[in-house]
Amino acid sequence: MSTFPWLTVILAIPAAGAVVIAAVPGAAATASEEDKRARNLLAKRLALVVSLLTLAMTIAMMVSFDPGGPAFQFTQTYQWIPQFGIHYAVGVDGIGLVLIGMTAVLMPVVVLASWYDADPRPAAGPDSGDTAGRPPGPPPRHSVKTYFVWMLLLESMVIGLFAATDVFFFYVLFEAMLIPMYFMIGSYGVGQRQYAAVKFLLYSLLGGLLMLAAVIALYVYSARNGHPGTFLFSQLIHLPLSPEAAKWLFLGFFVAFAIKAPLWPFHTWLPDAATSAQPGAAVLLVGVLDKVGTFGMIRYCLELFPSAARYFTPLVLVMAVVGVLYGAVVAIGQADIKRLIAYTSISHFGLIALGIFVLTSQGQSGATLYMVNHGFATGALFLIAGFMIVRRRSHMINDYGGVQKVAPLLAGLFLIAGLAGLSLPGLSTFVSEFLVLVGTFTRYKAAAVAATVAVILSAVYILWMYQRTMNGPVRDQVKDLPDLKARELWAVGPLIALIIVFGVYPQPLLNIINPAVHHTLVQVHATDPVPPHPPVVYVSGHAGALSQKGTTP
């Protein structure tokens, strides 16, 4: 097995890139506009190069990963604070690996799509044309390079979260990643950006405090009977806990992850945050950060507290099914494009949580695959909607109409991303959703049937949105709408390609995910339901009549 420190290098590259960009001298206040643009362009190009280098290293690591090898690979463990048993410890299984890969793919896409998000903006309004593609709204509070510094720092922290095998190290990154996203929304967003940023931060901090209490309690329990306390995941999974203690600790972790996911009824911060964030930041928020919540449910809630997870499974399944249906129903009534997409994600995260807690191999494999495919599909939908909003200067669905006739490429890619959102067969999300529903049906038929209703509702909100924005007569305000440009195609094209490729051939991802799911279910002492044996049908020896018997003759 390779001894190269893949994970440390991959999370260090964007962090180092952020430091380099931060060190680039800013233009003086008296500098010319041309000089300011040149320095901003340098920061953007550096961010793009760093994100592509991170992607290249991630691909190399994924090629080196052995699905049939140990559960956790590329492991490194170094003492950080020895007095309290805190380590810098990293390692990945198949679940963490595909999520790191998703993050690495999305980052250069977001950098390209966000090329003008932090630039000085024109005044908002339908007649405020801007050939550069800068979004309307209040001016950013900070410089262009700061925006991309936050972006790269966020990538480094999220990669560390998916790779952390020390619970305290995970908690530090879990809280630290709030800072870049807070500033990306509050300083560079639109609309009620300060309100949305503060709401996002307060919700997340509340969940983080509950997790901190549970993390400290885990350490205290690990230090009983004269044993040295530890935060290492590999040791904590064998920690004996009383049923009552396990239930309380499970809740401490679960509520934090449910807020982050976001799972109903902890979801109320997401529509505001996603609507106020720039499209690229919204992709990172919904496509990457929120996956930390569902990943944490698999890694920590199930494996550290298997008995408590079983105890709370009925409650979690109810929350998940309600979230699936609630998100879909509310999405149908939305008049704001970005807010509609945010509510669709609430529905999708309910489906992911459902797949996790049914404790079947199909359900968990589907949920993990859904995390990846949701990142690509919702990312493409947010970005294309963002390109359209920049052109028309409006988030409102009713301000569009006939876009397909003036910008056919934009409309076509928007349709593919939308169809992925409703899990059309042949696109990547269909495989994920099918596995989740099959895995759920084998154990909880009523929950599977209820969740399947959301498939019909998703067709309603996606196709209705597409019909109102893209079809019909061309509105006067969109008759001069330009089609997608080269930069925008390079940004969204890879996501559309991945949606199609993994829809036709998802096996490479499933080959990585399935062994990790099997290992997780073994840790939780869960097995797939055994299908009932059908009655044996045989021909009677008399008149040739068919008889059904429960046993063979």
pLDDT value at position 124?
42
Cβ–Cβ contacts within 10 Å for residue 120, how many? 13
Note whether 364 and 520 are within 8 A (CB): yes
pLDDT value at position 38?
81
Residue-by-residue DSSP string for 46-90: HHHHHHHHHHHHHHHHHHH--TTS-SSEEEEEEEEEGGGTEEEEE
Residues of the chain with pLDDT under 50: 1, 123-134, 540-553
* Domain coordinates in residue numbering, the chain: 6-549
Stated pTM of the model: 0.86
Q: Where are the beta strands (DSSP E) in 313-373?
A: none
Residue-by-residue DSSP string for 460-523: HHHHHHHHHHHSSSPPGGGTT-----HHHHHHHHHHHHHHHHHHH--HHHHHHHHHHHHHHHHH
Q: Does residue 264 come out as left (phi exceeding 0), alpha (psi in the -120 to 50 range) or beta?
A: beta
pLDDT value at position 478?
78
Note whether 7 and 149 are within 8 A (CB): no
pLDDT value at position 141?
59
Note whether 474 and 405 are within 8 A (CB): yes
pLDDT value at position 547?
43
What does the pLDDT look like over 470-489, one tens digit per residue?
887 878 777 878 888 888 88
What does the pLDDT look like over 206-258, one tens digit per residue?
888 999 999 999 988 888 866 788 888 888 888 888 889 889 999 999 999 99
pLDDT value at position 534?
56
Report the amino acid identity of residue 9. Answer: V
Measured distance CA(386)–CA(135) in Å, rounded? 9
Report the amino acid identity of residue 383. Answer: L
pLDDT value at position 157?
94
pLDDT value at position 407?
85
3-class SS of residue 423: coil
